[in-house]
Amino acid sequence: MSENIMNLETVTMDEEAGALVIIDQTKLPDTVELLSLTRQADIWDAIYLLRVRGAPAIGVAAAIGIYLAAKDIETDDYESFYAQFKAAKDYLASARPTAVNLFWALDRMEKLVTDNADKSVAEIKTLLRDEAVKIKEEDIRVCRAMGEYGLTLIHDGDGILTHCNAGQLAAVKYGTALAPIHLGHERGYKFKVFTDETRPLLQGARLSAFELHSSGVDTTVICDNMASQVMKNGWVQAVFVGSDRVAANGDACNKIGTSALAILAKFYGIPFYVVAPTSSIDMNTPSGKDIPIEERPAEEVTQMWYKQRMAPEGVKVYNPAFDFADNELVTAIITEYGIARAPYNESLKEIFERKREESF
């Protein structure tokens, strides 16, 4: 299809077809293909195989997916319904271990079920549908709010370096780390964005560069190991990254390579900003060392993007999907409720206090 990618929602629901509808991100940038998924196995595969990816988008997909699972449960007995719901929830939760939004969305949907045990199964299914839609709509508002806060930290003409994809393709609209860029571009700001290709899955080259270029943003793709030279050239005034999970102390877990960027930014005196909704902040995880790091197949490194294998057959491969930027390297964490700065154990608690006081 030829439609501009920015005119499409990354994740949505086709209730008439009983389907989760996503952009297949494994086909980008060559092909923009919408997948209509009705089977739980296909939804699980879509999350695991990165057809839908990015912490906010995974959360929305999980909410819609578990609603569709609940919709298909054929019983009027609450206990039987809940047992089958819980099994479906546990199944979807097993798709990705690191992104906390997956568990956040599924737990939120489960809480709705347990809080309404006195209602009929039919009523609970309706509530689940409404909650899934609410989570999707919230994601758009949250990302826009983070974009507004992030925009206060940069200026027209700034050079911005980003890693992986934390833009619209990682959410429903705007994204997290790219939200300030998208909003600024809408208002006429002329940013110069440097996009790490992000080995081994190339989310920067395939996805961030694709959506930024589609929007008309000045975009330059660089290999991950070129970031230091670009910073040394004085071309970067800020680094913006997303996060799959932020620990209570401000350690920010994100796509592999983020830690190295944070170290470089510190060396060159460049502010390093993490953009993360409160749904990605896990106050029950003390530090980055406590975050489970997903390891992915060796083939992603040795042969995925090549016409022929590019490493010796049988060679060992270490392929962690994430690392974390230590909190002392993080200049600020941008949320939908404001900007947190060190000490993060205190400022993140204040962010959640603000969240409790305000109705977003």
Tell me how far apart the alpha carbons of residues 76 and 216 are, in angstroms, rounded to a whole number.
52
Residue 254 and residue 98 in contact, taking contact as beta carbons nearer than 8 Å: no
Q: Is 312 buried (19+), middle (13-18) or exposed (0-12) by CB count in 10 A?
A: exposed
CA neighbor of 265 nearest in space, from 182, 214, 213, 196? 196
* 277: preceding bond cis by omega (within 30 degrees): no
Integer Cα distance of 322 and 24 in angstroms: 21
Instruction: Please work out, in degrees rounded to the nearest 5, the angle formed at the alpha carbon of residue 50 by the alpha carbons of 46 and 51.
Output: 55
Q: Is 244 a catalytic residue?
A: yes
What DSSP string runs through 35-63? Answer: EEE-SHHHHHHHHHTTSS-SHHHHHHHHH
3-state secondary structure of 195: strand
Which of 139, 158, 196, 244 is flagged as catalytic? 244
Spatial separation of the C-alpha atoms in residues 171 and 202, rounded to whole Å:
18
- Please list, in sequence order, all residues whose beta carbon lies within 8 angstroms of the beta carbon of residue 190, skipping any fewer than 6 positions away: 156, 157, 218
- What pairs with residue 36 in β-bridges? 21
Q: Are 73 and 83 in contact (CB under 8 A)?
A: no
E strands in the chain: 11-14, 19-23, 34-37, 159-162, 192-196, 218-222, 238-241, 245-247, 252-255, 272-275, 281-282, 322-325, 332-335, 338-340
Structure tokens at 333: 């964490």
Which residues participate in catalysis according to the annotation? 244
